[in-house]
Amino acid sequence: MSNKIVSTIAQVAESGLGIVGVRVGTEEPAHTSRRLTDEVEIRRYDPRIAASTTVHADEEQARRDGFRRLAGYIFGGNTGSQKVAMTAPVSQSSADSQRIAMTAPVSSSADGDSWVIRFFMPSTWTMDTLPTPNDDRVKLVEVPAETVAVLRFSGGRGRDNVAPQIEKLSEVLRAHNIEMSNEPMTWFYDPPWTLAFRRRNEVVVSVPEGS
């Protein structure tokens, strides 16, 4: 059996597992974690690299358009036509929050007009070794180390689904006297075809180091 056939079978199998929320060999950025409550955890992430694009559209359309642009990059739309492994999560945050995040940390939207979508790059790559995107709307950015509060949930990814989770996370942080460094962002770990109740979604907000 040829390597191409084996690879195709593997991709089909992984897609099938993705329907029920099973992620096979998908790298996540390195971090440490501790529980704040049963629902909320505090994570500390090391510096990492992301492929990033800004999309001017409503929240859901921006996520779709941004995903396509970034997928084009990692699937060969770059100098050398190199493939870069898909990682998790996919990050979505407001463009305004990202501008602030260059001097503070990172993140989700007030007016929904402009969104930053990011794929984090596998840890084996560096800024020197990553291929340059062919699409000038895709940028490679260095994301500094940061501490974040995270609340995980399943189900839909629309604003009506995400907003209650943001409020729940905010309430927990207020109860523990932890300030949010900026607005929350959303992270998505599964493809759109994953059954809603099996999806891993997270609302995430930067918090002061040592929280």
pTM of the entire predicted model: 0.80
Please check the confidence at residue 100 and state whether its pLDDT lies above 80. no
Please check the confidence at residue 104 and state whether its pLDDT lies above 70. no
pLDDT at position 4 is 41
Beta strands in the chain (DSSP E): 31-35, 40-45, 48-56, 90-94, 114-120, 138-143, 146-153, 185-188, 201-206
Cβ-based neighbour number of residue 195 at 10 Å: 12
pLDDT, average across residues 30-47: 97
> pLDDT tens, 138-156?
999 999 999 999 999 999 9
Domain regions of the chain by residue span: 3-206
> Cα separation of 67 and 211, whole Å?
32
Measured between alpha carbons, how far is residue 2 from residues 8, 15, 75 in Å?
A: 10, 20, 21
Closest CA to 117 of 199, 205, 170, 57: 57
| CATH architecture for residues 3-206 | Alpha-Beta Barrel (3.20)
